[in-house]
Amino acid sequence: MSGDRHGQEPEYDSTIQPETPASVVFMEMMRRAAASREADQPASDNVETGTPAAPPQSPPTTSMTPEERRRAAALEAERLQRVQRKKVQRRQSRVGALAGLLRSLLIVVVSGALIATILSWGTEPDALNTRVREELGQVVSSTATPLPALAPTMVPTPNWMRRIGIVSGHYGPENDPGAVCPDGLTEREINFAVAQLVVLELRRLGYTVDLLEEFDDRLNDYQAAALVSIHANDCRDYGEYVSGYLIAQSESRPQTGPDSRLVECLAEHYNVSSGLERRFGLTRDMTDYHIFNRINVTTPGAIVELGFMLADRELLTTRPDLLARGLVSGILCFIEPGDQDVESPMPVPETEVPPASPDE
Which residue ranges make up each domain of the chain? 1-42+58-129, 160-335
Residue 124 has pLDDT above 70, yes or no: no
pLDDT of the residue at 101 = 84
289 close to 306: Cβ distance less than 8 angstroms: no
Separation of alpha carbons 191 and 168, rounded Å: 6
Measured at the CA of 107, the angle between CA 103 and CA 110, to 5 degrees, comes to 135
How open is the CA angle 74-80-82, to the nearest 5 degrees?
A: 105
Task: State the Cα–Cα distance between residues 236 and 242, nearest whole angstrom.
Answer: 10
The residue ranking higher by pLDDT, 328 or 94, is 328
Architecture of the CATH domain 160-335: 3-Layer(aba) Sandwich (3.40)
Buried b (16+ CB within 10 A) or exposed e, 270-287: bbbbbebeebeeeeeebe
pLDDT tens, position by position, 249-282:
999 999 999 999 999 999 999 999 999 999 998 9
Q: Nearest Cα to 302, choosing from 159, 198, 182?
A: 198
Amino acid in position 260? S
Q: How does pLDDT run across 291-336, given as a tens digit for each residue?
A: 999 999 999 999 999 999 999 999 999 999 999 999 999 999 999 8
CA atoms of 359 and 230, how far apart (whole Å) = 20
The Cα angle at residue 244 between residues 241 and 248, in degrees rounded to 5: 135
Packed helices 22-40 and 66-122: angle between N→C axes, nearest 10 degrees: 160
